[in-house]
A and B are shown apart, each in its own frame.
Chain A
């Protein structure tokens, strides 16, 4: 059962990602990105990382992408006025880069086996929480300081007079 589901959701994720970069309309791209994020969340669930899956959906699909769509809606370019893209060189470069990425992941997959220790509890809220506040406390705190700085920076940029 699990390998079949993995293939299904993996295919959805990859297909969605391809659609994101090939669609002309930004709204279509954004919706395909949401689809990809969902499929990735499903992959997390397959690896027993329930917490990660839920957070993926809450943060990316529930908040970040809503902001994306908010911006697309605010700009609201009519379909016939969308700029034509002539990025033949960049596209070629993209294909080359994708080839390297596939090669790299193939090498990585050969060298490192998938971590086997993903038991039912490893991805639970309790386990993730314990790991965050013990082993990775420093990284966690530094990240929060970074986010705080970003918030203050955003306010400083947006507000002329504070």
Chain B
């Protein structure tokens, strides 16, 4: 039915991407704690040690994982048992699913077969991303509701309202990108960003859609429940929000879901607005700078540079999440709603309108 080679490639792709994302999740929990510490003039985690080696606290994620595993896994008396246990899975599953359509490198030819470095190059591409990421809200809402406790319920309510509000802007803010690159597959969008704008700038999404980028970034933070939009778990007023009643590994599943959202979100920003695996001025044969200067690079080198560029961009945006979290205070809830409906939505509509107008003018003017 399916040739063995293709099957192997498919499994390998999933395994590699899984390893990449989960590895990054582990590292990000450390980066978050250490970064927060250094920004606040503290030392951060530096105690966990293996054979006397602390490695800047790198073993803390391991210690955390062990602690989560061995803690008592309890269910509160009045919680709705089934939904209470389902909620962490509902949170984690969409987070993992979203990474399926992100291309992390150009197609590679091995043994006469072209392999795209992407788990699934779907026809609906970016729509799949929205469909799946929109489901993440269920984990939060179910957790909040099934705990049968005040603060989780408030957290769940907040998150459902927030996610609906920002999903609209999230969807509309990338319409500009789809219009400019005339594509909906992520692989095609990345290919389109390999061109040059006015012969100088790489035609990255951020340069053709600066407003769209800002809107998308904001909406993405709101969707991932990260500061300044982490109201569903706002600890100063809601204890821990929707996961107040969770402990042990169920809590760590929520935690993992949040960090996977971060990592995948970073990869999606890199893909849509920063050229994905495109390295600036790097063509298939080597560098071709605007001045006419060109440097030949072997094919393997090009591949490494491109995958490296994707990973580098992803890492940067992961770091940006942390950086923003320890810089900006949380919004008040009415401010979140006002920003979402009265600022983001009109701006994203305006962005679509202006993009359409400019594209029409370019088309008519022929320049």
Are A and B in contact, CB atoms below 8 Å, in the complex?
yes
How distant is the Cα of A82 from the Cα of B161 in the complex, in angstroms?
25
Does A125 touch B at the CB level, under 8 Å?
yes
Chain B residues numbered 120-168 whose CB sits less than 8 Å from any CB in chain A: 122-124, 127-128, 130-132, 134-135, 137-138, 141-142, 144-145, 153, 156-157, 160-161, 163-164, 167
Q: How far is the CA of A50 from the CA of B132 in the complex (A)?
A: 14
Q: Is the CB of B145 within 8 A of A66?
A: no
Not counting A53-B124, A61-B134, a sample of 19 additional A-B residue pairs whose C-beta atoms are within 8 angstroms of each other reads A31-B142, A50-B123, A54-B127, A57-B132, A57-B134, A58-B127, A58-B131, A66-B138, A66-B160, A66-B164, A69-B141, A70-B141, A70-B160, A70-B164, A73-B141, A73-B153, A74-B157, A124-B124, A125-B127
- B-side interface size class: 20 to 34
Q: Which of A62, A66, A70 has the most C-beta atoms of chain B within 10 angstroms of its own C-beta?
A: A62
A76 touches B153 (CB 8 A): yes
Given A62-B131, A73-B145, A73-B153; A50-B160 close (CB under 8 Å): no
Q: Which residues of B have CB within 8 Å of A57?
A: 131-132, 134-135
Interface residues of B, Cβ cutoff 8 Å to A: 1, 80, 83, 122-124, 127-128, 130-132, 134-135, 137-138, 141-142, 144-145, 153, 156-157, 160-161, 163-164, 167, 171, 184
A–B complex contacts, Cβ < 8 Å, 7 sampled: A1-B1, A27-B145, A51-B124, A57-B131, A61-B131, A63-B167, A76-B145
Are A125 and B153 touching (Cβ within 8 A)?
no
A67 interfacial by beta-carbon distance below 8 Å:
yes
Considering only CB atoms and an 8 Å cut-off, how many residues of chain A contact the other chain?
25
In the complex, what residues of A have CB within 8 A of residue B83's CB? 27, 31
Question: Is A101 in contact with chain B by the CB < 8 A criterion?
Answer: no
Residues of chain A within 8 A of B137, CB atoms compared: 62, 66
CA distance A69 to B144 in the complex (A): 11
B141 surroundings in chain A (CB, below 8 A): 66, 69-70, 73
Query: From residue 57 to 84 of chain A, which have CB atoms closer than 8 A to chain B?
Result: 57-58, 61-63, 66-67, 69-70, 72-74, 76, 79
How many angstroms between the C-alpha atoms of A82 and B342 in the bound complex? Answer: 38
Task: Provide the bound-state CA to CA distance between A53 and B131, in Å.
Answer: 9
- Which of chain B's residues have a CB closer than 8 A to the CB of A74? 157
Query: Which residues does chain B contribute within 8 Å of A72, judged by CB atoms?
Result: 145
Q: Which residues of A are at the interface with B, using a C-beta cutoff of 8 A?
A: 1, 27, 31, 34, 50-51, 53-55, 57-58, 61-63, 66-67, 69-70, 72-74, 76, 79, 124-125
Which of B124, B142, B161 contacts A70, CB < 8 Å? B161
A76 nearest CB across to chain B (Å): 7
Q: Which residues of B contact A55 (CB under 8 A)?
A: 127
CB-CB under 8 A from A76, the residues of chain B are 145, 153
**What chain A residues lie within 8 Å of B145 (beta carbons)?**
27, 69, 72-73, 76
List 5 tightest A-B contacts by C-beta distance, closest first.
A62-B134, A57-B131, A54-B127, A54-B124, A50-B124
